[in-house]
Amino acid sequence: MSSREIKITVFYCQHIPGSTEVDRQDIERRWAGSVKCYPLPCSGRFEQIHMLKSLQEFSDAVYLVTCPDGQCRYFDGNTRAEKRVAHTQRLLSEIGLEHERAGVLVTHNGSVTLTEHVEALKGRASLLGPSGVHPDRYTGSDG
């Protein structure tokens, strides 16, 4: 892995296509430690602290992948989750980080798999570059 590999965390509704435990393990193995994926029984169970803790401890960017609007098995879980991510983005801006380091991806097409979503999110995160939260990771310092 390159010393400048962007690290992301992806929380996801486990009801989207290609989101089995085997799929999750394959994704994490494919990106050799630069992607961590966490399934949620519903994106409505997502809390802001999950994103903030991920940014503090591991990630350059954190994303939530929800089921399509109107298709939440628990009525409005994805809508609640979107509001929580928006609030997290405001918090990040207030502390001086780019709000784009947190995001939500509402799935629109039932045929797009978790792997494809993660690929898109890795691309999105790479445009941001490394986070200023973990400067030692990119300088080679053990600090």
pTM of the model: 0.87
On whether the CB atoms of residues 62 and 11 are closer than 8 A, the answer is yes
CA distance 1 to 111: 30
For residue range 60-88, list pLDDT tens digits in order: 999 999 988 778 888 888 888 999 999 99
Taken in order of first residue, the domains within the chain and their CATH numbers are: 8-139 (3.40.50)
5-64 pLDDT per residue, tens: 899 999 999 888 888 999 999 999 999 989 999 999 989 889 999 999 999 999 999 999
Measured CA to CA, the distance from residue 30 to residue 32 in angstroms comes to 6
